Amino acid sequence: MMTFIVFLNWTEQGRQAFKDRQMHYRTAKSLVEKLGGRILRA
């Protein structure tokens, strides 16, 4: 199974929008599962 590691650099705007992370996580998780993958850690 392939594993991908993603490193992110936050912008100031990204830090301010971080409070919406729960919704974004659910959306991303749903998309990944739809494509046949899975998120191991968040």
Express each pLDDT in 19-31 by its tens digit. 677 777 888 889 9
Q: From CA 16, how far away is CA 22, in angstroms rounded? A: 14
**What does the alpha-carbon distance between residue 38 and residue 30 come to, in Å, rounded to a whole number?**
9
pTM of the model: 0.50
Is the predicted pLDDT of residue 42 greater than 70, yes or no? no
